[in-house]
């Protein structure tokens, strides 16, 4: 054993000792006379992180729930955690007692997105920012963006079908979602700014889930530098919009027009605006792209269902004519396919919260400072709530699911404010895809990879072909 290994083991031992002392102290200080939930804390400090990331997380969580029930403890990513897998528990954490559980993210991720992003906050700041985002993404606002979103979808599909080459569907869907995000935030952005945003955002995206070391040349270090460049680009755009007095009803316009009357007309700083813009791009891109990739796979695997969706879409299709808002809101089969894709894929398997005080739930103690993780995927795949949950069956949504059993966009004050935009993207993409194109999956049609969101193996390699017009 060399000196470097000895040093590493000493560091791990010290971390383990500190973690153990901290947990013991917390349990001793608690004023609540309740016991911790059942479960295993795994190895000192390391906890069960390796078990989670070395296997399918669905199996990891399902095995835990079978063994310990709907509330259990574990230790991962250096943090003690309580995991919850019942509708009542999710409602308790995210809705009725949400003030006892603050949103929490690793510091490395906050540094890349920006500490002022709304989903890192609670209280008045979060309320004001959320209203601005919801205002720019309301149904009334989105109906005015339908034609522009369709133009992007048609251009994207044309590029996929040109030459019949194999594409990585997930990567291409990410590009599509990024374009929609830019449109929603800025409106029509100059080509130079769009390319600079895309180039630097891609670097930040690659470093987001990398090991957070600032050693030169590492993905995380490159991401930090690209994040600083993004701030400069955004500041240039903001200054230009102010000079031209071009404050339209997009998200940037909502941010720039905001004044807090309770604080003497205080406005958002450029850094606050930049953090929230980058946060919205992160929230909108990978998740939506993952679900759309899964939806293409599910339709490809069920040709009978695909024909039903085609029939619905072709009934309202007029050559070279865009969808109307009324048509978009009246696609029952397609919407059920979207909902079932959201359930099956469960791209957001869980969410992170942190207890801000000692909390008792059903006789169990959730100590202050512990992470709390409502497990959405466990409920979406629970046969008590969804019959034959591993089967892709859109007809199950002919009746609404029980409350707090289906939460693809979260729930409560921190639920996703962009859920209507995400569904609009999916509807428009599916319409133009099935009415004008066909596709075939290349290579293995099974398998899942996690990066970190679950996507079909290799991003679902596929070829797209334009259907001849009749």
CA dist 347 and 349 (Å) reads 6
- Measured in degrees and rounded to the nearest 5, phi and psi for residue 122 equal -125, 180
Q: Where are the beta strands (DSSP E) in 182-280?
A: none
- Residue 205 Cα to chain centre, angstroms: 13
Q: Which two tokens stand for residue 302?
A: 């069920």
Q: How would you list the strands of the sheet with 371-374, edge to edge?
A: 71-76, 79-84, 371-374, 353-355, 101-103
- The dihedral built from the CA positions of residue 119, 120, 121 and 125, taken in this order, carries a sign that is negative
What separation in angstroms does the CA of 301 have from each of 294, 295, 391, 448, 468?
Answer: 10, 10, 12, 15, 23
Angstrom distance (rounded) from CA 435 to CA 397: 24
For residue 223, give the nearest of 237, 213, 232, 235 by alpha carbon. Answer: 213
CA angle 8, 14, 17 (to 5 degrees): 140
Specify the 3-state DSSP secondary structure of 42.
Answer: coil
Q: Are 367 and 75 in contact (CB under 8 A)?
A: no
On whether 416 is known to bind a ligand per the annotation, the reply is yes
β pairing state of 371-374 and 79-84: parallel
Are 359 and 82 in contact by the 8 Å Cβ rule? The answer is no
Q: How far apart, in Å, are the Cα atoms of 168 and each of 406, 422, 432, 458? A: 29, 20, 19, 7
Q: What is the DSSP string of 412-459?
A: GGGS-TTHHHHHHHHHHHHHHHHHHEEEEE-S----EEESSSEEEGGG
DSSP letters of 197-216?
HHHHHHHHHHHHTS-----T
Tokens of 274: 């930049």
CA distance 48 to 307: 45
**Binding site feature residues for heme:** 416
**Binding site feature residues:** 416
């Amino acid at each position: 054993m060399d000196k470097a290994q000895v040093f590493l083991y000493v560091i791990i031992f010290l971390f383990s000792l500190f973690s153990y002392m901290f947990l013991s102290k917390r349990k001793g200080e608690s004023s609540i006379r309740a016991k911790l939930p059942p479960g295993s804390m795994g190895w000192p400090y390391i906890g069960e992180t390796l078990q989670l990331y070395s296997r399918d997380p669905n199996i990891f969580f399902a095995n835990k729930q079978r063994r310990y029930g709907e509330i259990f403890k574990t230790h991962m990513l250096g943090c003690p955690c309580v995991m919850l897998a019942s509708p009542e528990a999710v409602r308790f954490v995210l809705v009725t007692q949400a003030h006892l559980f603050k949103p929490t993210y690793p510091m490395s991720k906050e540094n890349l997105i920006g500490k002022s992003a709304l989903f890192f906050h609670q209280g008045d700041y979060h309320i004001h920012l959320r209203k601005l985002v919801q205002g720019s993404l309301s149904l009334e606002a989105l109906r005015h963006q339908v034609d522009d979103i369709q133009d992007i979808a048609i251009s994207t599909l044309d590029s996929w079908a040109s030459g019949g080459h194999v594409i990585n569907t997930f990567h291409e869907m990410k590009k599509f979602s990024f374009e929609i995000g830019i449109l929603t935030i800025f409106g029509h952005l100059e080509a130079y700014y769009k390319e600079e945003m895309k180039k630097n955002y891609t670097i930040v995206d690659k470093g987001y889930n990398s090991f957070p070391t600032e050693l030169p040349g590492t993905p995380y270090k490159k991401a930090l530098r690209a994040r600083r460049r993004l701030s400069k680009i955004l500041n240039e755009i903001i200054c230009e919009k102010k000079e031209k007095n071009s404050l339209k009803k997009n998200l940037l316009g909502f941010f720039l027009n905001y004044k807090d009357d309770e604080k003497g007309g205080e406005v958002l700083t450029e850094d606050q605006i930049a953090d929230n813009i980058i946060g919205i791009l992160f929230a909108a891109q990978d998740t939506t792209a993952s679900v759309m990739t899964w939806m293409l796979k599910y339709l490809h695997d069920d040709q009978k269902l695909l024909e039903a969706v085609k029939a619905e879409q072709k009934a309202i299709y007029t050559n070279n004519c865009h969808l109307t808002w009324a048509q978009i809101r009246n696609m029952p089969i397609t919407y059920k396919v979207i909902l079932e894709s959201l359930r099956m894929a469960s791209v957001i398997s869980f969410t992170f919260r942190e207890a801000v005080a000692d909390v008792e739930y059903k006789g169990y103690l959730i100590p202050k400072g512990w992470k709390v993780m409502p497990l959405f995927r466990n409920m979406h795949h629970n046969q008590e709530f969804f019959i034959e949950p591993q089967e892709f069956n859109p007809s199950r949504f002919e009746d609404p699911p029980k409350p707090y059993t289906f939460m693809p966009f979260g729930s409560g004050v921190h639920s996703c404010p962009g859920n209507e935009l995400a569904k609009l993207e999916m509807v428009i993409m599916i319409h133009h895809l099935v009415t004008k194109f066909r596709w075939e999956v290349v290579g293995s049609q099974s398998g899942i990879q996690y990066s970190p969101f679950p996507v079909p193996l290799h991003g679902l390699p596929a070829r797209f072909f334009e259907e001849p017009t009749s």
